[in-house]
Amino acid sequence: MQVVILCGGSGTRLWPISRSLYPKQFVRLFGNESLFQKTLRRNINQADSFTIVINQEQYFMGLDQLEELKIPNKRKFILEPIGRNTAPAIAMAAFASEPEEILLIVPSDHLIEKTDDYEKSIKEAIKLANDGNLVTFGIKPGYPEIGYGYIEAAGYDVKAFKEKPNLELAKKYLEAGNYFWNSGMFCFKANTFLNELKKHAPDIYEQSKKTFNNSKADPAIRLNAEDMKAIRSESIDYAVMEKSQHVKVIPADIGWSDLGSFDSLYEALPKDESGNTIAQNVIHSGSKNNLVISHKRLISTIDVDDLMIVDTMDALLIAKKGSTQKVKELLAEVKKHSTEMTNVHTTAHRPWGTYTILDEHAEYKVKQIVVRPGAKLSYQYHHHRSEHWIVVSGTATITIDDKTFDLKQNESTFIPREAKHRLANNQKKDLVLIEAQVGSYLGEDDIVRLQDDYKRN
């Protein structure tokens, strides 16, 4: 069986810890593991291979986190230049598979705590999938949730898919006993899905097939941006599941959460005797039932209850428990203030390593740059800024125009505006340097790449 992991979610309701270029599935919310890594780990025993459908900007982040686990399973990446929802993403994975191969489709950002029950549910699903069914997993509801869609079931048969209800209707669903949360997980043969997609959404099928056929493998499967733009954006539920006559549901009690809000994250994290989430750099005095996430600063509370306090290097969110579904609405206002604040953290991940913004002004910016062993930045130049580089540790191999030289600890160099340059780390340990940018414009889009090992524009 092939496990297909969908990494397209942006996690906007977990801002500010989740950003569009560093979404919640890659954030290490549980010790030193991300939700993406937890998804890989719990499926190792089920998977003959993994297919990971991921935004091309997050490819190297996903690859790094996969490599950390040292899993033996075969794997391939499908890189999306833009997202087109789950129906096209799953179609790409199906086109990349053998027709009779069983696919288990799982999101990368869900939490499942009952792994034994999870494996039992998968075995049931495989039996139904082998009979030519599209199988979904219905989660036994523990309370009347209004943020999920529901599935009305009669045994394994699906009677109807239901939109997100109001609270009164959600209570009725819970009392009825045959309504389940729609988990967004599926199991079927590759050709079963493609045949149903072709029948019920032929335009998505044909354009997805064209896009896949025009893709390039290097070794990841890279999809063409113009081809992707032509695909209608649609979920698998609307495109196929709600229309097909071959749908079955596995009622599952697997300790599932989609961690779609800070309220659900609060429920999943360990807590102290006062109901406060346990974290370093947090001190409570007389406070109860609070979620506190701190990046570095010490956070102290006195006599406050039921708050969500989320602190990052560049943003602080304070909300009442029960109100965190409104974070997505808040984000529209944040974008008016700063688009960058919704896209990246002060620490941004790149294929070659990371950079962290230490200080920023209208006419200067100071960064810490960390380049991994054997990695190098693109050969590039800037129209609007010059740069000063100071090596903190390691040895930097630097090219400026037609000159290449090494810099060691405490040594520095200057890169004039429009000078063609490259930074490389040819050593066996991380290279750390400080970069001071000076100029009239300091945006990340003032980079003209002349040559790049990672095939970025």
Taking the C-alpha atoms of residue 378 and residue 381, their distance in angstroms, rounded to an integer, is 9
CA distances from 253 to 25, 128, 433 (A): 22, 18, 50
Closest CA to 256 of 133, 124, 145, 91: 145
Taking the C-alpha atoms of residue 274 and residue 282, their distance in angstroms, rounded to an integer, is 13
Q: From edge to edge, which strands make up the β-sheet containing 347-350?
A: 347-350, 353-360, 364-371, 431-439, 385-393, 412-415
Instruction: Name the CATH topology of 346-451.
Output: Jelly Rolls (2.60.120)
Closest CA to 301 of 316, 289, 319, 284: 284
Relative orientation angle of helices 35-42 and 59-69, to the nearest 10 degrees: 50
> What is the pLDDT at residue 457?
67
Taking the C-alpha atoms of residue 404 and residue 450, their distance in angstroms, rounded to an integer, is 16
Q: Which residue has the tokens 């529209």?
A: 332
Compare 292 and 338 and report the one with higher pLDDT.
292
pLDDT tens digits, 425-439: 999 999 999 999 999
Compare 331 and 398 and report the one with higher pLDDT.
398
What is the band of 79 on the pLDDT scale with cuts at 50, 70, 90?
very high
| Mean pLDDT, range 293-309, rounded to an integer | 93
CATH 2.60.120.10 boundaries in the chain: 346-451
- Report yes or no: 366 and 388 within 8 Å, Cβ to Cβ: no
The per-residue pLDDT of the chain, averaged, comes to 92
CA dihedral 64, 37, 62, 11 (to 10 degrees): -140
CATH 3.90.550.10 boundaries in the chain: 2-257
Residue 235 per-residue DSSP state: -
Say how many C-beta atoms besides its own lie within 10 A of residue 349's C-beta.
Answer: 18
pLDDT tens digits, 359-411: 888 889 999 999 999 999 999 999 999 999 999 999 999 999 999 999 999 99
pLDDT at residue 343 greater than cutoff 80: no
What is the band of 46 on the pLDDT scale with cuts at 50, 70, 90?
confident
pLDDT at residue 205 greater than cutoff 90: yes
Instruction: Name the CATH topology of 2-257.
Output: Spore Coat Polysaccharide Biosynthesis Protein SpsA; Chain A (3.90.550)
> What is the pLDDT at residue 234?
95
> What is the pLDDT at residue 376?
95
Tokens of 387: 């740069």
> What is the pLDDT at residue 102?
97
Percent of the chain, pLDDT > 90?
71
pLDDT tens digits, 208-251: 999 999 999 888 999 999 999 999 999 999 999 999 999 999 99
Rg of the Cα atoms in the chain: 24
pTM of the complete model: 0.85
Read off φ and ψ for residue 132, nearest 5 degrees.
90, 25
| Mean pLDDT, range 110-131, rounded to an integer | 95
| Mean pLDDT, range 132-151, rounded to an integer | 91
> What is the pLDDT at residue 220?
92
Collapsing DSSP states into helix, strand and coil, what is residue 115?
A: helix
Percent of the chain, pLDDT > 70?
100
